[in-house]
Amino acid sequence: MDKFPHRTSLEITRDILKVISKGAHLRGQIIQKANLRAIELLTRLDALKSKGLIDETLKKGHHYYELTPEGKVALKTFTDLFEGRI
């Protein structure tokens, strides 16, 4: 369950993409900066991977996440949408 239930699913997705784009590449960092519980984040990370918006790399037992070019476009679109530019 999300710590901030008033956020929509789209807002949560935007927040995750934004956090990853700003350099939080490990799960713990993303959980903390996006204000999500671990199970919620893992579910959403899997969905974002399946949609091709993020890539996951395993290095020395740690999962690292990065935005794909499609993820960057999605983040820009979500940001524009929420800031009223669309």
Name the residue ranges covered by the structural domains of the chain. 9-79
For residue 79, give Cα distances in angstroms to 12, 27, 28, 56: 12, 22, 24, 23
Distance CA 43, CA 78 (A): 20
Mean pLDDT of 39-65: 94
Average pLDDT over residues 21-36: 92
Binning pLDDT at 50, 70 and 90, where does residue 85 land?
confident
For the cut 90, the answer to whether the pLDDT of residue 75 exceeds it is: yes
Fold of 9-79: Arc Repressor Mutant, subunit A (1.10.10)
